[in-house]
Amino acid sequence: MIATGARPRTLPAFAAYDNVSTLRTLEQARALRDLLASGARLLIIGAGFIGQEVAAAARAHGGAVTVIEAEPLPMHGLLGREIGEWFAQVHREQGVELVLGRTVKQIHGGGVVEEVTLDDGRRIATDHVLVAIGVDPDVGWTTGVGLAAGAIATDAGGRSDAADVYAAGDAAAFHDAFLGRHALSGHWEAAGRQGVAVAHAVAGEPAPAPALSSFWSEQYGMRINYLGHAFLADAVEIDGDLAARDFVALYTRAGEAVAGLSVGRPRALGELRERLAYMTEAPAG
């Protein structure tokens, strides 16, 4: 069973500089914690969940933090405009300098990054750069063993195309019957569930019932939970109060729920799960 996880993406332009890191390992997390405690100015590239959580941790330490995001809003592609605007506002209220729709054009400094110039000409000084632009399945080492390049595509029991080879977690792309295609999970709960599915398959038992795609995040003391496939939605309804950080965003497609994001309402998850259960029961038409 291949369960080698994922590797953070890097930016070649930053490869030659010492004060640049990614976040995946415990060692990297400890180094980052020490850096935040020292009050260093932090430049984060990418406003996905890792970038946002580190920004929140940096602000908890009182450090100056700038986040540069190429998209017009944080999580825009996955969660849409309303929730992207909400995330942007939360970080700005907490003192994060959030620069949206921009990328780094030039790096200044010898050996360490001292300053960057953005594509609008703006310059930002920093003590450390965290590159948080997503991950790729860590499967490069499997080249030449009869598996297609990239994430290991599997059925619902984790079986790959190669005989007796299974995969689970961030290295795998399980088949999602509702979407009708293989999909990366990239999240903790899915990795655990997929490991269990592989155990069932190896033992010759039927696969356990599939589960909804889900993740959680903690930022500024808020618990954020997500279920489903928001990218399928054509509308989003907010129940609650965005400003009070107490709401459920229900994503719908042709009036039917396809995903939900709850903030400060962990009990809403049970109801969301029930509304979305159909997505794990029958393939989409």
Ligand X SMILES: Cc1cc2nc3c(=O)[nH]c(=O)nc-3n(C[C@H](O)[C@H](O)[C@H](O)COP(=O)(O)OP(=O)(O)OC[C@H]3O[C@@H](n4cnc5c(N)ncnc54)[C@H](O)[C@@H]3O)c2cc1C
Binding segment for ligand X (CB under 6 A), chosen from 110-118, 211-219, 220-228, 256-264, is 211-219
In one-letter notation, the amino acid at residue 11 is L
| 152 binds ligand X per the rule CB under 6 A | no
CB 193 within 8 A of CB 229: no
By DSSP bridging, strand 256-263 and strand 123-125 are unpaired
Coil, helix or strand at residue 14: helix
Beta carbon of residue 188, minimum distance to ligand X (angstroms, whole number): 3
Instruction: Using the minimum distance from each CB to ligand X, give the nearer residue, 57 or 233.
Output: 57
What's the token pair of residue 128? Answer: 């450390």
| 140 binds ligand X per the rule CB under 6 A | no
What is the Cα–Cα distance from 19 to 32, expressed in whole angstroms? 11
Site string for ligand X, 155-194 (x = CB under 6 A): --------------xxx--------------xxxx-x---
The residues in 239-278 that bind ligand X, with binding defined as CB under 6 A, are none
Site string for ligand X, 1-20 (x = CB under 6 A): --xxx---------------
Instruction: Using the minimum distance from each CB to ligand X, give the nearer residue, 5 or 101.
Output: 5
Beta carbon of residue 73, minimum distance to ligand X (angstroms, whole number): 20
Candidates 215, 220, 252, 269: give the one binding ligand X (CB under 6 A): 215
Q: Who contacts 89 (Cβ-Cβ below 8 Å, separation ≥6)?
A: none
The residues in 49-108 that bind ligand X, with binding defined as CB under 6 A, are 50
Note the residues at the interface with ligand X (CB under 6 A).
Answer: 3-5, 23-24, 50, 138, 141, 169-171, 186-189, 191, 215-217
